[in-house]
């Protein structure tokens, strides 16, 4: 059976509630309905075509000649040039109305080309064959709670559980197919009108992009990344998915395969910073409201991640019937990291709410009450070891980045009182901020090597240390910052890109076997950090190397294998795209934010202040 394509060979479309991956061969190999985190009805991405897919392509052609998004939209246009002529398939998912629709329109460009549609619908990640029923110009597949209807301009045939059709198109002719989801206990909705759906989808994205206020050197890359970030937003609640997929491996053939179809508070906070800084304030307001609902309750029970609707229970389990992407097993659904203690998340949330306030979003009493409750928890928990930014499954440690973000969270509360007139025990918070800073400087910095370390007493480094000056903990020109940037670049670089850490360091800090690729967001952080310490030309070189890793549609997954020259990990990855946006802004001369101005500048014990 055919195997899935390389990760970079997939395009992405979505309707702000779910998304589909479409290969260069015209096959939809991944689609979860009705939401990002629902079971997939096309899961060939994690096995083969028996797990479900939908391919539309010329009968005698394998891969397309070219593809592109139509302008600054999420409408995908794939072109085949064949001996008989040229044909296009236009794919779109219109922003969700009453139902989820996947629209595929075949259009003749020249000559006369014979096209074939092959749909193999398999619910529950390829585990359940639906009951297929033929109607006039449509077929309905039902299994348990789910139903999908395929409508077409041509007759559809059912054979051995598959639905197929053939059509010949000449220049100027077209043929449309529409796949529509609905709960099986409800009547089937009216399928989207294909021409109107394409028009409305293009119009939606064009109007949304008009809000972007970035017009710098890398506008095309930034706008494409912003579109991806918006497309990963779950519109009904304002939650933001970290990626559209599960179990795409960080190490081909290995076990580092995770489900990223949920809302990490950290990722969502970074995403909102990227969107707000480029003019998209409505998304920040929606996320703030989602956050207040999701984390309501005891701040000690704050989770690092939630379902897109705020669901707390995200139990991890495996799908043994799927072989995994290129035999990378296990295939996982859910994520056990939801139960981890990651101290930095409290700081990320407090920082994000600070950014929202600075952006002019109207304050809410509930938002400030939440922040005060989070501060109460931080005050008693900041000195405890945690699992860290990278969700290590080894022992908890005193991760330096986690402590710095705890400091940042307290700092933002102090600023809320000082700069916005909100009420709180500011003297106590100032003292707490100073204690955390002194602890980090005394225990997290290696004087001999001239660098901060991954955790207290560690021999290893961590790319997240590059964020220390970005959150205002120390100024860029501080020798400890410069030494850390240089050490991270020297010790974590792989062929000009950056690992997040060395898995083998400190007795395998993450508790997992195997290695992984370079982490794309960390390479953006390196470019940003080099710029911050005054090495602008080198920063631009690093950043443009990162841009070269995007696929032909401008998409990035989580990681990259420099030897195989292939993308790795779940895709499209919000972490990679928001890091790209933020680095591009700063390298283009975006003004320094208040968050980057060092505060709480008391020295630690025996510590001199650097100018």
pLDDT at 599: 56
Q: Which pLDDT band holds residue 394 (cuts at 50, 70, 90)?
A: confident
Does residue 117 carry a pLDDT above 60? yes
pLDDT at 596 over 80: no
Residue carrying the six token digits 């054979």: 159
How much is the pLDDT for 598? 56
| 543 contacts: CB under 8 Å, gap ≥ 6 | 218, 524, 527, 583, 584, 587
Average pLDDT value for residue range 214-238: 95
> pLDDT at residue 204 above 50?
yes
pLDDT of residue 512: 81
What is the Cβ-side half-sphere exposure of residue 364, based on CA atoms within 13 angstroms?
13
Strand 40-42 and strand 85-92: the pairing is: unpaired
Q: 494-508, 523-537, 552-566: which range is least confident on average?
A: 494-508
Q: Find tokens 């790795």 and name the residue.
A: 568
Name which of 39-48, 82-91, 308-317, 446-455 the model is least confident about: 308-317
pTM: 0.94
The pLDDT of residue 601: 45
Q: Choose among 466, 484, 437: nearest CA to 598.
A: 437
Region 138-144: mean pLDDT is 96
Confirm if 414 and 430 have CB atoms less than 8 A apart. yes
Helix H or strand E segment including 116: strand 100-120
**Calpha distance 366→44 (Å, rounded):** 44
**Strand, coil or helix: 7:** helix
Give the residue, 135 or 30, on which the prediction is more confident.
30
Q: Please enumerate in sequence order all residues whose Cβ is within 8 A of that of 427, keeping only pairs 6 or more positions apart, or say none.
A: none
Residue 611, pLDDT above cutoff 50: no
Two tokens at 460? 């290893």
Query: The tokens of 67 are what?
Result: 């593809």
Encode pLDDT of 410-461 as tens digits.
999 999 999 999 999 999 999 999 999 999 999 999 999 999 999 999 999 9
What are the start-end ranges of the E strands in 499-558?
Answer: 518-519
- The predicted pLDDT at position 603 comes to 34
Q: Which two tokens stand for residue 29?
A: 């190999």
Which tokens sit at 365? 């009493």
Residue 223 and residue 4 in contact, taking contact as beta carbons nearer than 8 Å: no
Q: How far apart are CA 458 and CA 460, in angstroms?
A: 5
Asked if residue 586 has pLDDT above 70, the reply is yes
Of the chain, the end-to-end C-alpha distance in Å amounts to 64
Cα–Cα distances (Å) from 121 to 132, 146, 150, 439, in that order, read: 9, 11, 10, 57
Lowest mean pLDDT among 228-237, 304-313, 406-415, 467-476: 304-313
Is the pLDDT assigned to residue 159 strictly greater than 90?
yes
Nearest CA to 271 out of 349, 386, 363 is that of 349
- What pLDDT, on a 0 to 100 scale, did the predictor assign at position 301? 79
CA–CA gap between residue 118 and residue 116 (Å, rounded): 7
Tokens of 18: 């779910």
CB 105 within 8 A of CB 167: no
Quote the tokens at residue 192: 């989207």
Residue % of the chain over a pLDDT of 90: 78
Q: Please state whether 393 falls in left (phi above 0), alpha (psi between -120 and 50) or beta.
A: alpha
Q: Is the pLDDT of residue 321 over 50?
A: yes
Strands (E), 338-465: 445-446, 451-452
pLDDT at 3: 67
Mean pLDDT of the chain: 92
77 token code pair: 């246009």
Contact (Cβ atoms closer than 8 angstroms) between residue 470 and residue 528: yes
Cα-based distances in Å from 54 to 16, 23, 25, 31:
21, 10, 11, 10
Rounded Cα distance, 110 and 108, in Å: 6
Whether 604 and 437 have beta carbons less than 8 Å apart is answered as: yes
Coil, strand or helix: which one is 409? helix
Residues in Cβ contact with 196 at an 8 Å cutoff, skipping those fewer than 6 apart: none
**Residue range 74-81: average pLDDT?**
97
Identify the pLDDT of residue 370: 86
- Give the tokens for residue 167: 């059509």
The three-class DSSP label of residue 181 is strand
pLDDT tens profile 34-68? 999 999 999 999 999 999 999 999 998 888 999 99
- pLDDT higher than threshold 70 for residue 489: yes
Which of 276-290, 390-404, 530-544 holds the top average pLDDT?
530-544
Comparing C-alpha atoms, which of 331, 338, 330, 315 is closest to residue 125? Answer: 331
C-alpha dihedral (305, 307, 310, 314), degrees to nearest 10: -70
Length of the chain: 611
pLDDT at 1: 54
Q: What's 64-91 look like in SS3?
A: CCEEEECCCCCCEEEEEEECCEEEEEEE
Start-end of H helices in 60-157: 123-126
H helical segments located in 191-238: 194-209, 219-231
Q: What tens digit of pLDDT does each residue of 325-359 get?
A: 999 999 999 999 888 899 999 999 899 888 888 88
Instruction: Spell out a b/e string for 69-107, using b for 16 or more CB atoms within 10 Å of the CB, else e.
Output: bbebbbbbbbbbbbebbbbbbbbbbbbbeebbbbbbbbb
Phi then psi for residue 338, to 5 deg, are -60, -25
DSSP state of 157: E
Q: What's the rounded Cα separation, in Å, for the pair 106 and 93? A: 15
CA distance 254 to 329: 6
């Amino acid at each position: 059976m055919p195997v899935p394509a390389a990760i970079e060979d997939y395009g992405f479309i979505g309707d702000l509630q779910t998304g589909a991956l479409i290969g260069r061969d015209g096959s939809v190999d991944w689609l979860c309905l009705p939401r990002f985190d629902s079971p997939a009805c096309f899961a060939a991405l994690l096995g083969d075509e028996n797990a479900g897919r939908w391919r539309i392509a010329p009968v005698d052609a394998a891969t397309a000649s070219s593809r592109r998004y139509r302008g600054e939209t999420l409408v995908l246009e794939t072109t085949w040039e064949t001996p008989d002529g040229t044909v296009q398939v236009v794919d779109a998912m219109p922003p969700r109305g009453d139902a989820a629709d996947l629209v595929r329109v075949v259009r003749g460009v020249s000559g006369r080309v014979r096209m074939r549609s092959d749909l193999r619908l398999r619910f529950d990640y390829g585990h359940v064959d639906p009951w297929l029923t033929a109607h006039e110009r449509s077929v309905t597949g039902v299994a348990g709670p789910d139903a999908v209807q395929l409508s077409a301009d041509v007759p559809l045939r059912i054979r051995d559980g598959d639905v197929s059709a053939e059509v010949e198109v000449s220049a100027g002719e077209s043929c449309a197919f529409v796949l529509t989801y609905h709960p099986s206990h409800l009547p089937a909705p009216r399928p989207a009108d294909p021409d109107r759906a394409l028009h409305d989808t293009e119009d939606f994205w064009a109007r949304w992009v008009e809000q972007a206020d970035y017009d710098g050197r890398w506008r095309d890359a930034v706008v494409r990344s912003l579109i991806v970030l918006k497309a990963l937003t779950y519109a009904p609640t304002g939650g933001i998915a970290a990626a559209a997929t599960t179990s795409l491996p960080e190490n081909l053939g290995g076990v580092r395969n995770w489900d990223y179809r949920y809302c990490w508070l950290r990722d969502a906070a970074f995403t909102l910073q990227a969107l707000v800084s480029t003019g998209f304030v409505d998304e920040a307001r929606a996320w703030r409201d989602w956050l207040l609902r999701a984390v309501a309750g005891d701040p000690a029970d704050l989770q690092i991640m939630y379902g897109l609707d705020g669901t707390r229970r995200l139990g991890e389990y495996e799908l043994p019937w799927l072989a995994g992407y290129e035999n990378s097993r296990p295939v996982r659904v859910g994520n056990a990291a939801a139960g981890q203690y990651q101290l930095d998340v409290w700081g990320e949330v407090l920082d994000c709410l600070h950014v929202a306030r600075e952006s002019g979003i109207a304050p809410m009493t509930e938002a400030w009450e939440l922040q005060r409750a989070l501060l109460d928890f931080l005050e008693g928990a900041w000195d405890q070891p945690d699992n860290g930014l990278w969700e290590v499954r080894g022992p908890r440690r005193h991760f330096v980045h986690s402590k710095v973000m705890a400091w940042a969270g307290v700092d933002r509360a102090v600023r809320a009182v000082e700069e916005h007139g909100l009420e709180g025990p500011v003297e106590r918070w100032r003292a707490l901020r100073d204690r955390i800073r002194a602890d980090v400087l005394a225990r997290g910095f290696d004087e001999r090597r001239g660098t901060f370390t991954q955790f207290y007493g560690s021999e290893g480094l961590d790319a997240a240390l590059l964020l220390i000056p970005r959150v205002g903990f120390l100024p860029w020109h501080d020798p400890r910052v410069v030494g850390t940037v240089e050490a991270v670049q020297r010790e974590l670089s792989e062929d000009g890109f950056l690992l997040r850490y060395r898995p083998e360091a400190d007795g395998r800090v993450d508790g997992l076997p195997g290695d992984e690729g370079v982490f794309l967001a960390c390479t953006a952080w390196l470019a940003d950090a080099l710029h911050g310490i005054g090495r602008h030309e080198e920063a631009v070189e690093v950043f443009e190397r990162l841009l070269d890793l995007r696929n032909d549609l401008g998409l990035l997954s989580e990681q990259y294998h420099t030897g195989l020259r292939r993308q790795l990990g779940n895709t499209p990855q919000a972490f990679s795209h928001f890091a790209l946006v933020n680095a591009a802004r700063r390298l283009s001369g975006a003004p320094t934010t208040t968050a980057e101005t060092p505060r709480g500048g008391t020295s630690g014990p025996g510590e001199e202040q650097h100018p």
